[in-house]
Amino acid sequence: MTAFNDACRALISGECRAAIAGGVHVMSPISAPPTVMALKLAGFLDPKGQCKPFLADGGGYCRAEGAGLVVMKRLSDAIHDKDRIHSVIRGVGTGNMASPRSIVRPDGPLQSVSLAQAVASSGIDPSAISFVEAHGPGTQQGDPAELFSICSVLAQQGSRYPENTLAIGSIKGNVGHSEAASGAISLFKVLAMMRYQRIAPQANFHPSNLSPRLHSFFKDHPIRISDQEQKWTASRRIAVVSNFGATGYAGHMVLEDTPARIPSANSQRMAAPILPFMISAKDSKTLVTLAHRYADWLDAEGASVALSNISYATTVRRMMHSCFTLVQATSHADLAHQLRSDDNRPIIDMSSSKRARTLAFCFSGQGGPHLDPHKSSLYTTSSAFASTVDTCYRIAEGDRLVAPEDVAALELFALQAGLAEMWSTWGLAPVALAGHSFGEYNTLVRAGVLSIRDALRLVGIRAALIREKCSGSVSKMAALRLPLADVRALLSQQTTTRVELACINSETQVTLAGTPEDLNSFHEEILKTHSSARWQLIENMRAAFHSRFVEPIREEFAAVCKDVEFFPSKVTVLSGPLGRTCLPGDDALTKHDYLVRHCMVTNCFGEAIQEYSTLNVLAGVDRPDWIELGAHSSTIGFIPLSPGQLKLPSLRKGVDGWMTTLDTLVKLRVAGHPVDFAAFHRDINPAACHIDLPRYPSELWWR
């Protein structure tokens, strides 16, 4: 009980977030015999070798071995961490109960002080307590003293209705007195009773063999000892656990049954149609054995367990070893089938992996397909995504920052912001950010350079200015796959056309700007010398950005940018307007003409990517993996990869958003990225709870 009391104090003071408390008692073959002999000669042990709490023939206690530990947390932390809460400690009281005549002689009135302290600290009416797990060693001095304290604090005459008698019991009649572990063993009994909502019968007890010294307590006070198992019918199952020490220590703890599960504010989100499941072991052979155990369990008792709870328990509540398998499943049968398929089930061994993987975000531009973020399945699945999207719309619409005619810009901005928040919530924070054209705005927001409101204001004003001032001049953009050096040479040789280099996407891919007539003529010139060049007109653009065609907005847009506050970046930014890497704090990103230049000058996205890769090589740092944040995976194709490097989409055109996102998440975890599955489930699966899963193959554990 001392350990439980100390743990409670440490948790309340904030010294720790979790504590492991309990006790262990083992009788060694060397020290135990002399101790037993000394206790026997002192008259503490029962001659027949059994603890007999409350019985007439109780003549001492029986020594026993035992061990018990519990994990303790503040209730709020346990709820947040989705722990399985067995009970709540409402109050603890400690004191000394030794009689002035002898340190080993218990004193009922002094025990009452500790018990009253525990009840008072709990704030619970004594009559609401329906069970006491007594220390009850079965001695002729100890049992009467303890019943005196129980009756004086919890069961005074007239304090309870006839149907609310206080039940009393002691586990020592079943297992003996495990001394240092006895408090933990008594606690476990009460936790089991709460779990099954049953009051256990007192071992070997019958009213006819009640100790004569206890008759008066049962006659004058509303207490009882059960000789049969009974249903625990109290509306609130509240119990007291008592534990005493040979040196006069007395401890009491007030426990209440597990509170009703507190639903998360986001528990109404739509259930994900497919979920991840992760099983790990120390080696591949053990992993196969364990996977088959899971499959057998899924066909039996696991078939009735919610799939969302199985996903949560396997990814969050199990120790993760270096060898694991991570699969996606839509049903119990699907999961069981994958776990049995040894040939098809991937086994990942991370034991030789030394370096941590890093990640970079790439925000796509406006050239791809449009997607209303509200229509994405992510909106009904991920709380982080939905709340960020809602925030963007609330700010934009509430302050009228984006006109209805420019809703496409708001959709893309909100979509990218929602994706960034979702990935970061799941523990995947980027070490670098890159934005292609329009994606520069969310890049600056994520880097801390711009607030969401200021970014939305600039996006809305820029879109309105383009619509109002650039509609008179017809301009188009075209994507061209051709080596950059050849493109520059062709552009320099123009005589009758005026096509501009709008975007350098990579060493072999560019975007051009011009009038439709000029672009057609330039395309014909290209085919004369480069017949294999790939050409595609970009149809969904109001104006040709990063060119002279948006020059009419310069003056007004520059004036707006001067009113915006820019902050030093917190993350490395690969700047398209500058074509280089901007480390955290680079003041080039905070200049008020930065986004003006972003509109007008060639966007050197590919050059910024190339420089960043070179810097990583020179520094001996692995290049990060890439995730594209946009409606489609159109931009990461521009990024050249080194062996083993990944580039993955958040969304794909024509594919369910959640399916694509989960597939990317699984690939990142398999590659070694530290996915925070606890945060993942809080986001998409907030009602999930901990469950019992098949145990690790114990016969293989100690190899």
Render 280-327 in DSSP notation, one character per residue: EESSHHHHHHHHHHHHHHHHTGGGGS-HHHHHHHHHHSS---SEEEEE
User: pLDDT tier at 349 (50, 70, 90 boundaries)?
Assistant: confident
- Per the model's pLDDT, the better-predicted residue between 222 and 540 turns out to be 222
CA-closest candidate to residue 605, choices 639, 628, 651, 568: 639
Tell me what the mean pLDDT of segment 398-403 comes to: 92
Tell me what the mean pLDDT of segment 609-634 comes to: 93
- Per the model's pLDDT, the better-predicted residue between 643 and 498 turns out to be 498
The angle, 0 to 180 degrees and rounded to 10, between the axes of the packed helices 452-469 and 383-398 is 60
Superfamily of domain 359-471+545-657: Malonyl-Coenzyme A Acyl Carrier Protein, domain 2 (3.40.366.10)
Tens digit of pLDDT for each residue in 102-157?
A: 555 678 888 899 999 999 999 999 999 999 999 998 888 889 999 999 999 999 88
How far apart are the C-alpha atoms of 384 and 376, rounded to whole Å? 13
> Residue 548: left if φ>0, alpha if ψ -120 to 50, beta else—which one?
alpha
- Tell me which amino acid residue 178 is: S
pLDDT > 70? residue 279: yes
E strand or H helix that includes residue 25: strand 18-25
- Tell me which amino acid residue 412 is: L
Tokens of 365: 């531009």
- Per the model's pLDDT, the better-predicted residue between 350 and 591 turns out to be 591
- Domain extent listing, the chain: 2-257, 275-356+684-701, 359-471+545-657, 472-541
pLDDT, residue 701, reads 46
How far apart are the C-alpha atoms of 314 and 311, rounded to whole Å? 5
User: pLDDT tier at 261 (50, 70, 90 boundaries)?
Assistant: low
pLDDT, residue 109, reads 87
pLDDT > 50? residue 561: yes
pLDDT, residue 265, reads 46
pLDDT > 80? residue 98: no
Beta partners for 627? 361, 648
In the block, tokens 């395309």 appear at 523
Which of 264-268, 276-280, 403-407, 492-496 has the lowest average pLDDT? Answer: 264-268
How far apart are the C-alpha atoms of 237 and 550, rounded to whole Å? 72
pLDDT, residue 163, reads 86
Architecture of domain 275-356+684-701: 2-Layer Sandwich (3.30)
| pTM listed for this prediction | 0.85
Tokens of 32: 């135990």
For domain 2-257, say whether CATH 3.40.47.10 is its number: yes
How far apart are the C-alpha atoms of 543 and 546, rounded to whole Å? 9
Tell me what the mean pLDDT of segment 464-470 comes to: 92
Tens digit of pLDDT for each residue in 671-687?
A: 999 999 999 999 999 88
How far apart are the C-alpha atoms of 341 and 289, rounded to whole Å? 12
> Residue 136: left if φ>0, alpha if ψ -120 to 50, beta else—which one?
left
pLDDT > 90? residue 500: yes
Q: What letter does residue 254 receive in the DSSP assignment?
A: E
User: pLDDT tier at 99 (50, 70, 90 boundaries)?
Assistant: low
pLDDT, residue 149, reads 93
Tokens of 514: 């011009």
- Do 311 and 274 touch, CB atoms closer than 8 A? no
**Do 472-541 and 275-356+684-701 fall under one CATH topology?**
yes
- Quick one: 125 exposed, middle or buried, by C-beta within 10 A (0-12, 13-18, 19+)? exposed
Q: Which CATH number fits domain 472-541: 3.40.50.850, 3.40.50.920, 3.40.50.1100, 3.30.70.250?
A: 3.30.70.250
pLDDT, residue 80, reads 87
How far apart are the C-alpha atoms of 518 and 523, rounded to whole Å? 8
pLDDT, residue 508, reads 95
In the block, tokens 């801390």 appear at 448
- Quick one: 520 exposed, middle or buried, by C-beta within 10 A (0-12, 13-18, 19+)? middle
Pairing of strands 509-514, 647-649: unpaired
In 3-state terms, what secondary structure has residue 652? coil
Rg (CA), the chain: 36
pLDDT > 50? residue 409: yes
Beta partners for 23? 68
How far apart are the C-alpha atoms of 568 and 362, rounded to whole Å? 20
- Per the model's pLDDT, the better-predicted residue between 44 and 218 turns out to be 218
How far apart are the C-alpha atoms of 98 and 110, rounded to whole Å? 8
User: pLDDT tier at 269 (50, 70, 90 boundaries)?
Assistant: low
pLDDT > 60? residue 6: yes
User: pLDDT tier at 355 (50, 70, 90 boundaries)?
Assistant: confident
What average pLDDT does the chain have?
91
Tens digit of pLDDT for each residue in 546-557?
A: 999 999 999 999
Tens digit of pLDDT for each residue in 421-463?
A: 999 999 999 999 999 999 999 999 999 999 999 999 999 999 9
Pairing of strands 476-481, 534-538: antiparallel
